[in-house]
Chain A
Amino acid sequence: MNNFFWNNIFKKTRSECELITEFWQQTPLFKNIPSRHIHTLSENMHVRNFQADEVVFRQGDQGAGAILVLEGQVKVYANNTLLSDLDKGDFFGEITLAETDKRTADACCIKRVDWCTSSNRTWKNGLKLSHTWALFS
């Protein structure tokens, strides 16, 4: 069913998916997970562009998933205390994947940022992909 029209309208470009897969593969969360499973997960992740000084989320906001920094720099604060300074390849907001749908800190872009987000349902579906993923369920 490889159709030029449908592929171009509905599919992510291969390089974008591969880039996201590559980044996630380097995080501790996806250590020892087969790349084809991460690739399947990456197909349902969303790339967003944020400008410098733009707020990604605030403490108490409802959050839908974890965020991976593809490019740029993000600072995460809780009660005006800097918690972490994130760079290309780092991820944050993973608490909403497991515990609560409320953001527990503020996140603000320092440089222009491209990030990709992965919702908790994508993760839950992904967890069922392989028995090796039972570790996270």
Chain B
Amino acid sequence: MNFSDNPAASGSAYFKTFKIFVFVVGFILASFYLLSSILLPVIISFTLYALIQPFTNYLVRKDFNHSLAIILILILMLVFSILAISFALPQLLSQVTILKSKLPVIFNQFEHFLTIYSQKLGDFIGVDFNVSDILVSLLSQSSSLGNTLLVTISEQVFAITLSLILVPLLTYFILKDFKSLRNKMMNWLPNPSFELGWLIYYRVTSQLQVYIRGVMIQSFIMAVVASFGFFIIGLDIPVLIGSLAGLLNLIPYIGPLISILLAVLVASAMTPFDPSIIYMAVAVIIAAQVIDNIVVIPSVIANAVDLHPVLVIVGILIFGNLFGTIGVILAIPAMATAKIIYTNLYADIYNASQNNM
């Protein structure tokens, strides 16, 4: 789109677009705020809707009753989830137990590393670091953080139980009635904005669907590749660390760095201590990232979001600050949605201003 041919029109269009954009984004954020107590189940249900809808559509095309198709798919998903959990949960729990028993060793090893490298750094720049003091302060902070986390988790038990009940119910009703409800709501739009509203809706939902499906597949592939790599190099608890690497991949740029840190910590706690396994663990994460960037992203999430890397990092930090962990995961789709809304509003307002001249 080239809007540079008429600066006056584009300036006025920018201003009008900005006003409407602020109103729309404000409305969305206010809805998020109102829904904040049930935000997690709502997001999970809509994610499931995006994943399940193609299958229900397929069954409806094969002349299945709509409600029956939804129930059938939900039952299949439930059975599959129970099978997957019953297979994976014991493995993961045993690995969590191993990790728990190794935590003191990991911290000691971490302190050992820090002491050696801080001494080297201190000698190099001529400053004396007192690492043990820093560590004691850090560890006391982390233990109080741990206690706070435990209290928060116990407080969240009600919310988690509510989510477990709400998610299947919400998913069923979203699959069944969301389109009708959406049509009713879109009919509230005034005539001049009606088609634009639909256009923006279609573009946003298409991009979100591609993004959600892509990210799910990407995380799964990352988890499999990293687990397999860790298993090959002989790292302790490979499935747990690999699965965490897959999950952390949901957070762009920052997630892989945390994965590397985790793998290094686990590798450094292994007995007998072998430095080569640390390098190999880092190499596994880097190799998984290379596969992700060369194979998975171009084929699975190509063009799902087109945002500048700096914007992504700043957005993640701001959303993380505003909405916590959910905010970190929601940052990219939210920014991609805002971008589509803005560019489409601007294109429409600019065209209208050109027509009126």
Contacts and interface: CB of A to CB of B under 8 A. Distances in A.
A65 B198 CA distance: 9
Nearest to B351: A60
A80 interface: no
A117 B195 contact: yes
Interface string A96-120: 0000010000000000000001011
B344 A62 contact: yes
B123 interface: no
Contacts of B195: 57, 61-65, 117
A83 to B, nearest CB: 17
Say which size band chain B's interface belongs to: 20 to 34
Say which size band chain A's interface belongs to: 20 to 34
Nearest to B68: A1
Contact of A64 (B202, B352, B354): B202
The listed residue with most A CB atoms (<10 A of its CB), out of B177, B195, B198, is B195
Q: Is the interface of B mostly helix, strand, loop or mixed?
A: helix
B48 to A, nearest CB: 19
A10 B180 contact: yes
Contacts of B199: 62-64, 101
Interface in A8-46: 9-11, 44, 46
Interface of B: 57, 61, 67, 176-177, 179-181, 183-184, 186-187, 191-192, 194-196, 198-199, 202, 344, 347-348, 351-352, 354-355
Interface of A: 1, 6, 9-11, 44, 46, 48, 50, 54-55, 57-65, 101, 117, 119-121, 125, 128-129
The 7 closest A-B pairs by CB, nearest first: A10-B180, A64-B198, A64-B195, A64-B199, A1-B67, A60-B351, A58-B355
25 contacts: A1-B176, A9-B180, A9-B184, A10-B180, A10-B184, A44-B183, A46-B183, A46-B187, A55-B192, A59-B355, A60-B351, A60-B354, A61-B351, A62-B199, A62-B348, A64-B195, A64-B199, A65-B195, A65-B198, A101-B199, A117-B194, A117-B195, A120-B202, A121-B202, A128-B61
